[in-house]
Structure 1
Amino acid sequence: MTQIDETVSRSRKAAMVVQMLLAEGQRLSLSSLPEETQLRLTRELGAMRTIDRTTLLQVAAEFTRDLEAVAMTAPGGVEKALNALDGQISPATAARLREEASKSQGGDPWAQVIAMSPADLRAVATGEALEVCAVLMSKLPVAKAAELMGLIPGERARRIAFAISRTSAITPDAVARIGAALASQYAGTQAPVFAQPPVQRVGAILNSVGAATRDSVLAGLVDEDASFADDVRKAIFTFPDIATRLAAGDVPKVTRNVDNGELVTALTAAQAAGGQDAESADFILANMSQRMADSLREEMGERGKVKKSDGESAMNAVVGAIRDAVDGGEISLISTEEEED
């Protein structure tokens, strides 16, 4: 076989193989690679155009003798390469590449703004000056502008609509500056540092602490920011919430993932505590098979008195199993809004 052109780098060869696998519908897990490797690979994909068949076959043979010979056209452009690698490189890597491409190509910042979802654009429409919002609405496709308008409070929407009437004399340079400012502040050129918003992060932490600590932190939050504290309280799910927020049919799905000893300890401690804890314990027992419930009651009778720390730890284990099932999409909790309805 003719030797492959020595000017073809290993990075380019790797990009060719990745493109072949993607073309075959393979899903690759590349996010675990070092960021520099992900960057180099994606840049190579973005730089490639049409690959001649001889080179492709030689690269394929070099990487694997069993790969069928195919001809292909690489994505062409960083954005197309990123679309092809969606979900297969880390968000931080993708954000960095988009930022590099935008700077090098002088990309239109309005394209980044327009690509945002109406839910994300709501922060712009409710927080920026009316004149800026009027320009934003004018640049958006009609359908997206209408959806965004529906997410804005009525009085604010009316004032923005009136402000649009004053945009006829605005200069192209002013529109460009507004687009650049909005893209820089809102379009998210950097990946989020945290996977969840603050309310969810605080709620998750308070789910796993003792009741005394949780109540103390919530009381402090009320003094600092009552609205944030209320949102955190809604995000919290603890053992007393089981009776009202866990669907009866989901009890078996959860209890099967809890160590039997911890389940016995949690139910024993909850019934001894009384109140909502006891209600949740009764709810769990009432919504499993009669045989299993009888077995648990027998073990609870033999368990005796439970130390407070052991009881809280066991109840947290039950709550943790519920949270894991929710995060895994196996079950859904009843929302506090549904309860109020």
Structure 2
Amino acid sequence: MTGQIGLSQRQKAAVIVRVLLDDKEMGGLDQLDSDSQTLLAQEMVGMEVIDLQTRDAVITEFCDRLESVGVTFPGNLDGTLALLGKRLSDVSSDRLRQRAAITGQADPWPRLCILPHDALIKLANSESVELVALMMSKLPVEAASAVFVALPRDRARVVAQAMSMTSGVTPPALKRVGLVLLQAAETQPKPAIAIPAADRMGAILNFATADLRDDVLGMLDERDAEFAAGVRKAIFIFAHIPTRLEPRDVPRLTREVDQATLVRALAAPQEADSAAADFILSNLSQRMAETLREAREALGNPRPKDIEDSMTEVVAAIRRLEETNQLILKLPQDDA
């Protein structure tokens, strides 16, 4: 048997954990970091039998130390932010996470993965091919796709080839790469207005009437074709639903929109809008689709403004679902 005097602090911790494991209501050890979990398990592997007197002495020492504690702190960023909760502003929380990632105190990849596509594209064009290949391997598929298609064709080929060599990278090396990329991203000039002008104009035109939208786009085509192309890519209207919305997300959309609004939108007479209506109906259950068709027929001839307002509400619902990560819109086609 192992005597009390021979126990190290880690072994005493192992004894306490072993005693607590008999309690079915004990919380998991997942609150410990991986290094602490590993050390604890290693200590337990090397221990066999602890006598009753030693066990009681360790428990008494543990309880005495608990009673002498006045206040505790989480000891890490995530725990501290959880403790402060809403008392800390979102700006301050984000700044703390950013500082921790840049200094190597936290995993840099979560911050890299939420960078705007424009920032990621700049990194992909300026950093070494090997680093870019690792970045593409870690980014969410949607972001990686947006970055990849924006690369010059020659560079895209080289990056694709380099991705074949990413499987052997170690976690420490991957963290160092993420740190280098994040530090590079932080040195990029920050625009005073975060949302690109074309995206903002596109978002505004999403809710404009069709004649106003066409008039503005026509003017932009004449005066600034490049800006107009960017605005067109940012626009998402009812007619784009078949090419941008996944069929599996249609039922979710119909639950988000009031049925009367949806029926009016499905009554759109224009060819492109009618195709979008057919797409929605074809991706619903037969019973639901038939109910909506009957309601559309009973509607008669609604006013064009009511139809357009309803289509706008459907588009707004899709945007809400996208913003809350309940669906992901497909990238617009180049010729859209």
TM-score, length basis structure 1: 0.50
Among candidates 268, 271, 274, match of residue 275 of structure 1:
271
Give 1:326 shift. Answer: 2.0
CA distance in 2, matches of 1:233, 1:301: 33
Match of 1:304, as an amino acid? G
Alignment match, 1:177: none
Among candidates 266, 286, 311, match of residue 290 of structure 1:
286
Once the two structures are superposed, residues 173-229 of structure 1 have per-residue CA deviations (whole angstroms, 9 ceiling, x without a partner) of xxxxxxxxx9996365x9x754x4333322222111111111122223223432222
CA distance in 1, matches of 2:234, 2:74: 48
Alignment match, 2:318: 322
For structure 1, the 5+ residue unaligned runs are: 1-23, 26-51, 60-70, 76-80, 102-107, 127-132, 156-181
Structure 1 183/307 Cα, relative in aligned 2: closer, same or farther at 3 Å?
Answer: closer
Structure 1 238/291 Cα, relative in aligned 2: closer, same or farther at 3 Å?
Answer: same
Alignment match, 1:249: 248
For structure 2, the 5+ residue unaligned runs are: 1-29, 32-64, 136-146, 156-183
Figure out how many residues of one structure are paired with residues of the other and give that number.
Answer: 225
Structure 1 250/338 Cα, relative in aligned 2: closer, same or farther at 3 Å?
Answer: farther
Within a 5 Å distance, the mapping from 1:1-341 to structure 2 comes to: 57=70, 71-72=72-73, 74=75, 85=81, 89-90=88-89, 92-93=91-92, 120=119, 123=122, 144=131, 186=188, 194=194, 196-268=195-267, 270=268, 273-337=269-333
Give 1:260 shift. Answer: 0.9
Give 1:313 shift. Answer: 0.5
Structure 1 294/74 Cα, relative in aligned 2: closer, same or farther at 3 Å?
Answer: closer
Match of 1:199, as an amino acid? A
Structure 1 328/224 Cα, relative in aligned 2: closer, same or farther at 3 Å?
Answer: same
Q: Secondary structure at the match of 1:186?
A: coil
Alignment match, 1:129: none
Give 1:95 shift. Answer: 7.6
CA distance in 2, matches of 1:286, 1:330: 21
Structure 1 305/326 Cα, relative in aligned 2: closer, same or farther at 3 Å?
Answer: same
Give 1:282 shift. Answer: 1.7
CA distance in 1, matches of 2:74, 2:291: 64
Moved more, 216-225 or 254-263: 216-225
Contact 2:124 2:132 in 1 (8 A): no
Match of 1:230, as an amino acid? A
Give 1:84 shift. Answer: 5.2
Contact 1:124 1:186 in 2 (8 A): no
Contact 2:73 2:80 in 1 (8 A): no
Contact 2:243 2:332 in 1 (8 A): no
TM-score, length basis structure 2: 0.50
CA distance in 2, matches of 1:283, 1:224: 35
Contact 1:82 1:94 in 2 (8 A): no
Give 1:143 shift. Answer: 5.3
Structure 1 236/84 Cα, relative in aligned 2: closer, same or farther at 3 Å?
Answer: same
Once the two structures are superposed, residues 105-150 of structure 1 have per-residue CA deviations (whole angstroms, 9 ceiling, x without a partner) of xxx99xxxx9996984864897xxxxxx8xx98xxxx9548879x9
Give 1:314 shift. Answer: 0.6
CA distance in 2, matches of 1:291, 1:184: 53
Give 1:294 shift. Answer: 1.8
CA distance in 2, matches of 1:310, 1:338: 31
Task: Give the percent of matched residue pairs that are identical in Structure 1 and Structure 2.
Answer: 35
Please provide the CA RMSD for this pair: 4.8
